[in-house]
Amino acid sequence: MRVMLYDPNQVFSASIRPLLNRRGDTAIEAKTLKALATSDENIDCCLVALEAVSRNRVLADCRRPVFLITDREDGSVLRKAVSVSACGIANTHILARDLLHAIDRGLADPPYYDPQLLEAALQPAPLLGPQDAHELAHHLTPREDDVLRRIVRGEPTSQMAIQMGVSVSTVRSHVQNVLGKLGVNSRLAAIAFALNYGLETTLREQHPQLS
């Protein structure tokens, strides 16, 4: 695998580069964020320090999977990951080898969100037990299941409307229904809820025709 790193403040690159090299991957340093997004090199994945990201559009337009690394522990950083359609985000508190595993998961079955960041995104709402969380999910209609999975994938409202063949206002109505049934007040919280309790996998099993 060929990986491009953008980490101007050395948040993670010094620890992960030797691991990438050891397993036969090639790590390439990007000089600027724009260069990372527009490079013609054959790259499989871009690893980017979230703290160095100031312009969402640059990464949102990137032609390659982007995995964000951060040393922040608040759940709001998931909003940045969703806004740039990142294949995942992880915190530097995990071991370097676990970070490598998280990146592989994000590439194989995106998105991957750090469990501690997911839990932080759910606060201050009380955490439910798994059975209670899945009971809430059972109240979603198949269409709302589809909307929830699209929310988790970071699809904007306009894209959902096109893909689902409905109006933007209809999508917004479905989104509000999903938030209400899950007892959350934002798309970010819905993402955290779904992934924290494994709902996205459960919904895919219940309605494979919507995958």
Nearest-angstrom CA–CA distance, 188 and 124: 13
* Full pLDDT tens readout for the chain, 211 residues: 999 999 988 888 888 989 999 999 999 988 887 777 777 778 899 999 988 776 556 676 677 899 999 988 877 788 778 777 889 999 888 887 898 999 999 999 888 888 888 877 776 554 567 777 777 777 888 899 899 989 988 888 999 999 999 999 999 999 998 988 887 888 888 888 888 777 765 555 544 444 4
Does the predicted model carry a pTM greater than 0.75? Answer: no
User: Could you tell me the two tokens for 171?
Assistant: 């999508």
Nearest-angstrom CA–CA distance, 173 and 169: 6
**pLDDT one-digit tens code per residue, 189-200:** 888 888 877 776
CATH of domain 126-210: 3.40.50.2300
Instruction: Say whether 126-210 and 2-121 share the same fold.
Output: yes
Cα 168-171-174 angle, rounded to 5 deg: 155
Neighbours of 102 (CB within 10 A): 21
Q: How much is the pLDDT for 117?
A: 86
The phi-psi region of residue 197 (left if phi > 0; otherwise alpha if psi is between -120 and 50; otherwise beta) is alpha
Q: How much is the pLDDT for 103?
A: 92
CATH class of domain segment(s) 2-121: alpha beta
152 and 200 Cβ atoms separated by less than 8 Å: yes
Return the domain boundaries, the chain: 2-121, 126-210
Residue 41, phi then psi, degrees to nearest 5: -65, 155
Closest CA to 188 of 175, 198, 177: 175
**pLDDT one-digit tens code per residue, 81-130:** 877 788 999 988 888 789 899 999 999 988 888 888 887 777 655 456 77
For the chain, give me the number of helices (H) and strands (E)? 12, 6
